[in-house]
Structure 1
Amino acid sequence: MSKKSIIETEQEIIDDFSLFDSWEDKYEYIIDLGKKLPLLEEQYKTEENKIKGCQSTVWLVASYTDGRVFFKADSDAVIVKGLVSMLITVLSGHRPDEIIAAKLDFIREIGMFTHLAQTRSNGLLAMIKQMKNYAIAYKTIQGIEQK
């Protein structure tokens, strides 16, 4: 299974964003990304799958198959759905160590932190933290299983 590295995927997102001149166009692109996010099954839209620290409601679930972590998510806010879609594109399908080590510089490179309201930036950081926490948990489980 040849999957692009996290850094390669981040660079693709940076390149995509460089095609847009205005932040209005960039927001439209983020919203489009959110619309393409596969639907999250209703059974996962539970309190324990909600990300704490997000102003909007965001559900995030992870699974672990063949040494790789896969994410699914949904949100009730279109911009947030697009943001989590970008994170899933970058992180899903990678090994726990890769996810834990990911710097996610693309977020700064495309200017997200300077163009998001403080509450949205906090929510984005909460999503990243939760995804990395899942990776840490799966790495721990993997280590236990190997003993």
Structure 2
Amino acid sequence: MYIIDLGKLLPEFPKNMKIKKYLISGCQSQTWIALTNSVMPYNDLITLHGYSDSSIVKGIITIIFSLYQGLNLQEAVNVDIKPFLINQLQLKQNLTISRSQGIYLILNSIHSQAYSLYKL
């Protein structure tokens, strides 16, 4: 399956989350990433929501989200998926510099949002 095809699997992004707080500043395309978590006792699994006006970025978001699937807040804060994306999937070699930078911005946003919720 190609990256663009993976983007078609991305669930619809909630319209109420399409706000500046979740906009990825510096990304080549208009991209929003929002992280929420369950507040049930013993279950603080994260849920990621994402949207981009770029088909390839939607596919990249789908890949990134699959790597965070099933993680709780602490795990999301501590995990570093950059080496996997760069080395194993070789995304850096197959993307422009600006798209690669966008990946880092998306990952930084996810980490920052997870950290903010974890420290509450």
- TM-score if structure 1 supplies the norm length? 0.72
Choose from 40, 61, 84 the match for 1:106. 84
User: How far apart are residue 42 of structure 1 and its match?
Assistant: 1.8
Which of 2, 8, 15 matches 1:42? 15
Which is worse superposed, 46-55 or 72-81? 46-55
Aligned residue in 2 for 1:60: 33
Residue 110 of structure 1: how far off its partner (Å)? 1.3
Residue ranges of structure 1 left out of the alignment (5+ in a row)? 1-27, 142-147
User: How high is the sequence identity, in percent, across the aligned residues?
Assistant: 26
Say which one has the larger Rg. Answer: 1
Distance 2:26 2:79 in 1: 21
Partner Cα distance (2:17, 2:64) in 1: 18
Q: Provide the alpha-carbon RMSD of the alignment.
A: 1.4
Matched residue type, 1:139: Y
2:3 maps to what in 1? 30
Hey, which bits of structure 1, 4+ residues long, moved more than 3 A? none
Q: Which runs of 5+ in 2 are unaligned?
A: none
Length, aligned pairs only: 114
Flag the structure with higher helix content: 1
Q: For 1:57-116, what per-residue CA distance to the aligned partner results, in whole angstroms no more than 9, with x for missing partners?
A: 111111110312211101000000111111111114311221122221321211101111
1:62 aligns to what SS in structure 2? strand
